[in-house]
């Protein structure tokens, strides 16, 4: 047998604990696949006395992550701490000291991936990160490798398990936002700071990574239009149900043409109503699904567990085996594409349909006045219905496709109208226009 491949794990929380467990339980299989035993040589944590879901072999726990990654004998470092620092410095140090790196850290990759990729290139080492997007679902490797000969035009999906879990509970069991979030946290789906999930930062980071690989462009988290689910009310979920739809937090990345006829990229994350007949509507709990549309292949769908320690550890170990094989053979895997210089389109130019709920005075001519306001901004109405009477009168409008800028102007206009008491909900609508 070849000499052992030495692995250090940074972080032993939801994901790290499952990585450590699987490294122990699957040691024989991993050795057979890699062609050498995989030896865990250290596990860095913040506090030695934090409760753990796994028993870490004696003597391996340390709070000195910097010393662990600087060891000359470590071949692969698995970073599952999360966040920007110290994760970035630790990864850079690991590469400088000759280790390859596997990480699940989408926040860091989407903020400063370029620095990490350049460091890996300079060091001649691998940097793999399949677990950073959509948990266990193999999606980054298909984009980077399998579809490298095709032209991807659109990526659309549910890429955050926590928010999908919350929206699903609100829809199916009428659970409140707070209770559903607590359950998602207890199940290990949420980020250390769940604001990252519910405000859409996590999905935006994943959207940036997907867009970068799909369009061979450099897209960062800052380029992504982001809206989370904190503004989604029980009323919105009910409204969606009445339209035989559900509310989902979607990540959408598109290759478009700008005003100068140049290819440009549009990337956004926001809640949207989708018809129950749409395949994404049946994505329940913390599952994720990603549609990829490309010129030659057509439409592909990737589906599976999008969060949680064990599913994510599966993706981490998949990368570990690849990196370990490369290491043994003295080669590197596929690096990042040469980047095309594509502009990122502003959200105002994005075209979608909208669902708008408006509390109005219940008097003659209201409907015509509201319809006129939409028309003045070039937003054409697909359906409109009145709900309630008297003080409860509400108009529910679904528009045809319009630009975000036109819709924003329409909503401002509505808010200025005397007959409008309140615009209670504005939500995008995705899926087939009927």
Ligand X SMILES: NC(=O)C1=CN([C@@H]2O[C@H](COP(=O)(O)OP(=O)(O)OC[C@H]3O[C@@H](n4cnc5c(N)ncnc54)[C@H](OP(=O)(O)O)[C@@H]3O)[C@@H](O)[C@H]2O)C=CC1
Which spans of this chain sit near ligand LTNE7NMQ (rule: CB under 6 A)?
A: 135, 160-162, 189-191, 197, 202, 306-307
Give the CA radius of gyration of the chain: 24
Site string for ligand X, 395-434 (x = CB under 6 A): ----------------------------------------
- Cα–Cα nearest to 280, from 256, 316, 251: 251
Closest separation in Å from C-beta 59 to ligand X = 17
Q: Give the nearer residue to ligand X in terms of CB position, either 304 or 308.
A: 308
- Within 13 Å of residue 27, how many CA atoms lie on the same side as its CB? 12
Contact 379, 402 (CB under 8 A): yes
Site for ligand X contains 181 (CB under 6 A):
no
Contact 400, 359 (CB under 8 A): no
**Interacting residues with ligand X between 132 and 161 (CB under 6 A):** 135
Closest separation in Å from C-beta 49 to ligand X = 8
Among 6, 169, 206, 248, the one annotated catalytic: 206
- Selection from ligand X, ligand LTNE7NMQ, none that 160 binds (CB < 5 to 8 A by kind) is ligand LTNE7NMQ
- Selection from ligand X, ligand LTNE7NMQ, none that 197 binds (CB < 5 to 8 A by kind) is ligand LTNE7NMQ
**Interacting residues with ligand X between 285 and 324 (CB under 6 A):** 307-308, 312
Residue 206 a catalytic site member: yes
Backbone angles phi, psi at 195, to 5 degrees: -55, -35
Q: Which residue is nearest to ligand X (CB)?
A: 13
Closest separation in Å from C-beta 307 to ligand LTNE7NMQ = 4
# residues contacting ligand X (CB under 6 A) = 29
Q: Give the nearer residue to ligand X in terms of CB position, either 57 or 365.
A: 57
Closest separation in Å from C-beta 138 to ligand X = 13
Binding-site residue numbers for NADP(+) are 10-17
Q: Give the nearer residue to ligand X in terms of CB position, either 15 or 23.
A: 15
Binding-site residue numbers are 10-17, 106, 191
The residue range among 1-9, 102-110, 258-266, 343-351 that interacts with ligand X, by the rule CB under 6 A, is 102-110
Contacts with ligand X, residue ranges (CB under 6 A): 10-16, 44-47, 50, 65, 80-82, 86, 104-106, 131, 135, 188-189, 191-192, 307-308, 312
């Amino acid at each position: 047998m070849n000499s052992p491949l030495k692995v250090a794990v940074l972080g032993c929380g939801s994901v790290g604990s499952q990585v450590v467990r699987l490294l122990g339980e699957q040691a024989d299989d991993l050795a057979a696949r890699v062609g050498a035993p995989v030896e865990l040589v250290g596990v860095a944590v913040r506090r030695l006395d934090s409760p753990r879901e796994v028993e870490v072999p004696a003597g391996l726990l340390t709070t000195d992550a910097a010393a662990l990654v600087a060891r000359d004998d470590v071949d692969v470092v698995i970073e599952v701490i999360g966040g920007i620092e110290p994760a970035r410095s630790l990864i850079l140090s690991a590469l400088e000291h000759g280790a390859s790196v596997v990480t699940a850290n989408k926040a860091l990759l989407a903020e400063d991936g370029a620095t990490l990729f350049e460091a890996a290139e300079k060091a001649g080492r691998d940097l793999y990160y399949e677990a950073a997007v959509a948990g266990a679902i193999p999606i980054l490797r298909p984009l980077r490798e399998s579809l490298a000969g095709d032209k991807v035009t659109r990526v659309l999906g549910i890429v955050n398990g926590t928010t999908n879990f919350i929206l699903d509970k609100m829809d199916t069991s009428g659970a409140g936002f707070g209770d559903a979030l607590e359950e998602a946290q207890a199940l290990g789906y949420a980020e250390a700071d769940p604001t990252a999930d519910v405000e859409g930062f996590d999905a935006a980071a994943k959207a940036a990574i997907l867009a970068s690989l799909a369009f061979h462009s450099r897209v960062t988290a800052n380029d992504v239009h982001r809206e989370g689910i904190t503004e989604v009310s029980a009323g919105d979920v009910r409204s969606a149900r009445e339209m035989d739809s559900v509310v989902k937090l979607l990540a959408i990345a598109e290759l478009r043409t700008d005003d100068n006829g140049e290819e440009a990229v549009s990337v956004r994350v926001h809640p949207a109503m989708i018809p129950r007949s749409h395949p994404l509507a049946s994505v329940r709990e913390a599952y994720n699904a990603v549609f990829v549309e490309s010129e030659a292949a057509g439409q592909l769908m990737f589906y599976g567990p999008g969060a949680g320690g064990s599913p994510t550890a599966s993706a981490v170990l998949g990368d570990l085996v690849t990196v370990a094989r490369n290491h043994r053979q003295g080669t590197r895997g596929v690096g990042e594409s040469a980047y095309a210089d594509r502009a990122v389109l502003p959200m105002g130019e994005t075209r979608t349909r909208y669902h708008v709920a408006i509390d109005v005075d219940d008097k003659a001519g209201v409907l015509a006045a509201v319809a006129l306001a939409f028309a003045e901004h070039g937003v054409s109405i697909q359906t409109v219905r009145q709900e309630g009477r008297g003080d409860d009168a509400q108009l529910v409008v679904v528009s045809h496709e319009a630009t975000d800028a036109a819709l924003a102007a329409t909503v401002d206009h509505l808010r200025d109208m005397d007959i409008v008491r309140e615009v209670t909900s504005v939500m995008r609508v995705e899926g087939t226009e009927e």
